[in-house]
Homo-oligomer: A and B are copies of this chain.
């Protein structure tokens, strides 16, 4: 039997407490599988007295995570504190500086400092493992870094935020309005009191920025992600999507184009019969298109204490077995700079919803503006008038064939100027999945 792997665990929230319990209850199984015991050798959290469902009295306790990382008698530092700066960043730097491998679930830390930390790790001949940082329990990091290591990736995309997917699913299934759905999600613990990070698309953008680096061997560039959240999606959009054979998901997409890489997070219509469209509730899913494999899809739990702890545990098991792949799939010096695509995000079809004044010639005028901008229409439908009391406008739904975002924005600007629209036009991108 080899010597035990001694963990220093910083952060005892939902995931940290779950991990600590698993290391205790699964001790024998884990030892059998990896050939050496896994031990909790030091712990850091804010309040030692809180009951977390396991015995902390025998553990070496550090009030300061940086002290644990710097001085703990440990072989690996597990960072489950969260946050892109402060103690999480300082502790990870301290651990890497000592040459300790770091296991983390911290997407913000990686999205902001991933390349710098990978460089620091490489300098100390160690690495950072972060399976839990993207898509919770889905092994997408291992898959991209190891299983696809012979592939050239052309696109990675998926449903990366469980809160948004839960809300869109309930809005569709039960016809609940966005605001009521959000209240429910908050009551059930699927959304934070301040939900902006999730429903604004920022959480998904952080995860996407990390995947982009693994997919294309480039530096992480969070600032280049085009981000649009789900708060503008209405039940009417969801109904119209269903009629057209689509479902609306918050999709995160990173794609290699001729001029560079495109990263975007936005509500997207995807074909109702695609496998991704069946991914409901808090489940996450990621698809990768590559030269050798064509397309593969992974779906599973995107959050939750045990599911996330499972991902952390698999990284710890890798460390225990001596497996330390390069943090971002390549040695940091081999990462190429991020090259942003020249085009405005997304080339594809568009769903456009207009509130049009009910006047002779409006329809024809809108169609002409589209044609002028070389936008070919798949369908143009006038739906029932919006309210009995407001008979002067009617919703018009356009579905375009493949075009560019620039063309659509230009055409809609002109339609607005023509005075046909009561409100700002609404636009949802359509993604062709194979």
Contact = CB atoms under 8 A, between A and B. Distances in A.
A365 interface: no
Contact of A292 (B22, B35, B293, B334): B22
Given A293-B301, A300-B294, A301-B293, A150 B334 contact: no
Interface in A339-371: none
A393 to B, nearest CB: 36
A37 to B, nearest CB: 14
Nearest to A139: B147
A16 B90 CA distance: 49
Interface string A312-352: 01100110011101100111001000000000000000000
Given A314-B147, A330-B32, A296 B300 contact: yes
A409 interface: no
A292 B279 contact: no
A149 interface: yes
A314 B131 contact: no
A310 B138 contact: no
Kindly name the residue among A22, A34, A297 whose own CB sees the greatest number of chain B CB atoms within 10 A. Answer: A297
A213 to B, nearest CB: 13
B292 A137 contact: yes
Contacts of A334: 32
Interface in A121-147: 131, 137-139, 142-143, 146-147
A2 interface: no
Interface of A: 22, 26, 29-30, 32-35, 131, 137-139, 142-143, 146-152, 217, 273-275, 278-279, 290-301, 306-307, 309-311, 313-314, 317-318, 321-323, 325-326, 329-331, 334
13 contacts: A32-B334, A139-B143, A147-B314, A150-B317, A275-B279, A292-B306, A292-B307, A293-B301, A294-B300, A296-B300, A296-B301, A297-B299, A321-B325
